[in-house]
Amino acid sequence: MLMQNVDLKNKIILITGAAGFVGSNLVMELLKTVNPVHIIGLDNMNDYYDVSIKNYRLNEIDNLAKECHESTWTFIKGNIADKELIFKIFKENSPAVVVNLAAQAGVRYSITNPDVYVESNLIGFYNILEACRNFPVEHLVYASSSSVYGSNKKIPYSTDDKVDNPVSLYAATKKSNELLAHAYSKLYNIPSTGLRFFTVYGPAGRPDMAYFGFTNKLIKGEKIQIFNFGNCKRDFTYVDDIVEGVKRVMQHAPEKVTGEDGLPIPPYKVYNIGNNSPENLLDFVDILQQELVRAGVLPEDYDFEAHKELVPMQAGDVPITFADTSSLEADFGFKPSTSLRDGIRNFAEWYKEFYMA
């Protein structure tokens, strides 16, 4: 296991995408477990999905922060594509650790709205790198995605695999993030770690994700479409597991080492964070419907079969995602372990409380 070389205690930590699903949960985990800690959250609060969920997450953070008397929480509404703003934040606050979770998410949306992906995922990430170059940080951690594996046939997906076959613009932008981070790590000795997230789910998640979208449709009596006629597998990873992985990674920056040529070897790493246990989509839907009935979101006599539609694969999708997490386990002694049923149960209970209480 790697030794911690970044102490988060009493540090200023910048988290972009702080009102997002992973970002908000990370902020709360740090407030709960690191004392004192000083967190600056940035988010543009765009309306890609229901902004009320983002406001709910921020409200949860605000309530928690009031109880953490020695720590500080500051929220800034702004866009990482705004270079002037990013430089201002870095100049005035000198963050020690930066976690870049701000990104335009979604594979299918990238097919119809490519501009926002270029703005946020490319220009925005470039601005973060430039700020880290001009105002040096101890560690830059950033979200990549399992989508970088594209049409790779070999499973489970390993970070040693070539990832040169993206099947969506979203995937291409995430691969670009890794390439840009590598270049900046090499040129400017910026310690950076990329994390390839695998299908993150849980309470107060993203409504564009299948489990959330299916629930919304079933409540309205609409049909849910199951792609590739149900022959898809996804490595569903519960949000708490993702956050625990991020927190551990934050505390070890890749070492700065000089190579034989006298130049720095890039202090650069990439890890998968996934459940290492792909679930068939039909089994996933079966668990979802059971837990929605259990939580009282749907009635016990709901006719699920009448609301399912098996359809062909959609552009940008892949038939399976499967994370090889061996390097995460070896370096950090951690492997996601929340079962799909437990995670979906927590989501169903939250959904009932948020929308139906």
**What stretches of the chain show up as alpha helix (H) in DSSP?**
21-33, 51-67, 83-93, 109-112, 114-117, 125-134, 169-188, 210-220, 239-250, 281-294, 326-332, 340-356
pLDDT band at residue 42, thresholds of 50, 70 and 90?
Answer: very high
pLDDT in tens, 122-133: 999 999 999 999
Q: What is the pLDDT of residue 94?
A: 98
Cα dist. 292→88, 170, 240, 284, 354 in Å? 46, 31, 20, 12, 14
Confirm if 159 and 327 have CB atoms less than 8 A apart.
yes
- Angle between the 210-220 and 281-294 helix axes, to the nearest 10 degrees? 50
Measured in degrees and rounded to the nearest 5, phi and psi for residue 349 equal -70, -40
**Class of CATH domain 12-206+236-277+321-338:** alpha beta
Q: Is the pLDDT of residue 108 over 90?
A: no
pLDDT in tens, 138-165: 999 999 999 999 988 899 999 999 999 8
pLDDT in tens, 51-85: 999 999 999 999 999 999 999 999 999 999 999 99
Q: What is the pLDDT of residue 338?
A: 97
Q: What is the pLDDT of residue 329?
A: 97
Q: Is the pLDDT of residue 336 over 90?
A: yes
From CA 82, how far away is CA 206, in angstroms rounded? 24
Confirm if 146 and 325 have CB atoms less than 8 A apart.
no
Catalytic residue among 170, 201, 238, 268: 170
Which amino acid makes up residue 213?
G
Q: What is the mean pLDDT of the chain?
A: 95
Cα-atom radius of gyration of the chain, to the nearest Å?
Answer: 20
Structure tokens at 112: 């119809």
Query: Given its phi and psi angles, is residue 49 left (phi above 0), alpha (psi -120 to 50 degrees) or beta?
Result: beta
Helix (H, G, I), strand (E, B) or coil at 265: strand
Q: What is the pLDDT of residue 285?
A: 94
What one-character DSSP code corresponds to residue 189?
Answer: -
pLDDT in tens, 179-230: 999 999 999 999 999 999 999 999 999 999 999 999 999 999 999 999 888 8
Residue 301 contacts by C-beta under 8 Å, 6 or more apart in sequence? none
Q: Is 170 a catalytic residue?
A: yes
Helix (H, G, I), strand (E, B) or coil at 47: coil
Q: Is the pLDDT of residue 109 over 90?
A: no
Structure tokens at 51: 């902004």
From CA 321, how far away is CA 345, in angstroms rounded? 22
